[in-house]
Amino acid sequence: MDKDIATPIRTRTILEKYGFSFKKSLGQNFLIDTNILNRIVDHAHLTESSGAIEIGPGIGALTEQLARRSKKVVAFEIDQRLLPILAETLAPYSNTKVIHQDVLKADVAEVIQAEFEGMDDIMVVANLPYYVTTPIIMKLLEEKLPIRGIVCMLQAEVADRISAKPGTKDYGSLSIAVQYYTEAETVMNVPRTVFVPQPNVDSAVIRLTVRKEPPVKVKSEEFFFQVTKSSFAQRRKTILNNLTSQLPGGKEKKEQILAALNEANVDPGRRGETLSIQEYAQLSDALYPHFQ
């Protein structure tokens, strides 16, 4: 068994050997605690026939744990300086592949087809760079990839927003968007002390299990998301005010918006964060004919 990458001493040795310096712009924080890494992988429920996709492998600490517990790992790394390091640290694991690409620009569906042929259980497991967490998660979900789900480390505050319930201060359009595609749960909190360099925010791990069917059926997904985003534009405003000011031509269509709210049994004086995903579905379907 090779020595784990994720120990403070081994991490420091590798970084010194390559003269690596952390780039703030890439949100690089490397994990140096094997127990935490193992627990993250536990939450993904991988088997020997699973494929794993990682984003931002760093020096391979999580990649190594994934490689030991899955059939194959494909990792997207944007920072060219890490490629020679990964080539060395992952040398013992022939079931790993590093793709030098920004995952936001990558054709992930094509990569899955090429790299995980014949595998029907695929999980994304990643310690995501905090500055691009939301765009990465939304890209993976909106592209409706053939994945079972996502287990990722992110800023605790974002994890709270993703798994929030209606009527709470964290609940917003992000909660609805992610919960439309997945069942979301925060599975663990992670202290700052297990990273180098230490981030100045708290971290958490969430598990998103992709739903076979969305919890609601809507006439137009695109319009449904437009309505939810508009409803949270200014949290202190009522849903009527937000929809009137945010939907295209909303000011001229105030009567129609009122009629749609009435049809969906939503009091126009309510605030966006009090509506459930079911209420948003009814409301967006009632509004849809007026905004075509």
Tens digit of each residue's pLDDT (9 = 90 or more) over 177-208: 999 999 999 999 999 999 888 888 899 999 99
pTM of the model: 0.93
Q: Which residues are annotated as a binding site?
A: 29, 31, 56, 77, 102, 127
Write down all domains in the chain, each with its CATH number in brackets. 8-210 (3.40.50.150), 221-291 (1.10.8.100)
Q: Which residues are annotated as a binding site for S-adenosyl-L-methionine?
A: 29, 31, 56, 77, 102, 127
- The pLDDT confidence band at residue 43, using thresholds 50, 70 and 90, is very high
Per-residue pLDDT tens for 95-140?
999 999 999 999 999 999 999 999 999 999 999 988 899 999 999 9
Query: Residue 24 pLDDT > 80, yes or no?
Result: no
- The pLDDT confidence band at residue 21, using thresholds 50, 70 and 90, is confident
Helix (H, G, I), strand (E, B) or coil at 208: strand
Environment class of residue 86 by beta-carbon count within 10 Å: exposed (0-12), middle (13-18) or buried (19+)?
buried
Q: Which residues of 190-211 are buried (b: 16+ CB within 10 A; e: fewer)?
A: beeebbbeeeeeebbbbbbebe
Average pLDDT for residues 142-152, to the nearest whole number?
A: 97
Question: Which residue in the block uniquely carries the two structure tokens 């994934």?
Answer: 66
Q: Which two tokens stand for residue 143?
A: 């592209």
Give the whole-angstrom CA distance, residue 76 versus residue 59.
12
